[in-house]
Amino acid sequence: MSEELFVSSENGVMVFEMNRPEARNAMNKSMAEAISVALDKFEADDEARVAVLTGAGGTFCSGMDLKGFLRGETPFVKDRGFGALTQYTPTKPIIAAVEGYALAGGFELMISCDLVVAAEDAQFGIPEVKRSLVAAAGGVIKLPEQISPRLAMELALTGDFISAARAYEIGLINEVVPSGQAVAGAKKLAGRIAGNGPLAVAASKKILRESSAWEKDKIWGLQDDITKSVFSSQDAIEGATAFAEKRSPVWKGK
């Protein structure tokens, strides 16, 4: 798609590889815009069921490109936030595959994904306070929703890094794999998702993402609004039929 973002697709899984290894994949304006275009392509492609976001050269993303910042660039996309993802989520699942560092804005990109697979030697953190800055691209907003608020407070106020083992222990990531195997692990997880009904996957993601903000007396009605079209879909009939016939279902997304 561009020199700064490689995009590939296989077996329903689309991979976005941030490609600025000389800068530890620090996010600049052009890479953010390339991610935005890739996300649109992902959403529009009926064959693409899951996306994987990763970085080239053994690093996920080290945050904002400070050289670009000094030139007056900001790596934000209108209505989508840092890296085109911190204020936006596609309807389909996206998995972060983390090698090396996921720091500052890179960490915020990671926690904006739905699932995370990380190498055993990966490091995570929001060190902005060490430079008298704030993790304002979603770190201090999203982190308390994903882990214990007290642990989120510790990470935000100390700026300290944590290991993959610690990140897994506190529920921040889904799986730890050997170094160099993050993309392979993410693809394996993506394959487990891609084999399921795409309408049901999208509806489940939407409810999981949004229901915590719903008023308690409206949750069932709001859930019904999302799920009723899934239960009446051709794919729902196909799922039941395939089960009865002891075969794999053939999804049409309808």
Q: The domain that contains 208 carries what CATH number?
A: 1.10.12
Cβ 103 vs Cβ 123: under 8 Å: yes
CATH number for 172: 3.90.226.10
Buried b (16+ CB within 10 A) or exposed e, 161-186: bbebeebbeeebbbbbbeeebbbebb
pLDDT tens profile 47-69: 999 999 999 999 999 999 988 88
Instruction: Examine the domain organization and report whether 234 and 117 are in the same domain.
Output: no
- What pLDDT is stored for residue 1 in this prediction? 56
Instruction: Examine the domain organization and report whether 36 and 104 are in the same domain.
Output: yes
Average pLDDT rounded to a whole number, residues 175-194: 97
Average pLDDT rounded to a whole number, residues 233-248: 95
pLDDT tens profile 196-208: 999 999 999 999 9
Q: Is residue 254 part of a domain?
A: no
- What pLDDT is stored for residue 40 in this prediction? 97
pLDDT tens profile 121-151: 999 999 999 999 999 999 999 999 999 999 9
Q: Is residue 186 part of a domain?
A: yes
Neighbours of 19 (CB within 10 A): 18
Cβ 159 vs Cβ 218: under 8 Å: no
State the DSSP string of 97-145. Answer: EE-SEEETHHHHHHHHSSEEEEETT-EEE-GGGGGT---TTTHHHHHHH
Q: Is residue 32 part of a domain?
A: yes
Provide, rounded to the nearest whole percent, the portion of the chain with pLDDT above 70. 99
Q: Is residue 236 part of a domain?
A: yes
Task: Identify any residues that bridge with 96 across adjacent strands, giving them in sequence order.
Answer: 53, 116
Instruction: Examine the domain organization and report whether 33 and 158 are in the same domain.
Output: yes
Q: Which pLDDT band holds residue 111 (cuts at 50, 70, 90)?
A: very high
Which residue is associated with the tokens 């693809």?
Answer: 187
- What pLDDT is stored for residue 70 in this prediction? 83
Instruction: Examine the domain organization and report whether 126 and 209 are in the same domain.
Output: no
Neighbours of 200 (CB within 10 A): 17
Average pLDDT rounded to a whole number, residues 181-191: 98
How many separate domains does the chain show?
2
Catalogue the active-site residues.
108, 128
User: pTM for this one?
Assistant: 0.94
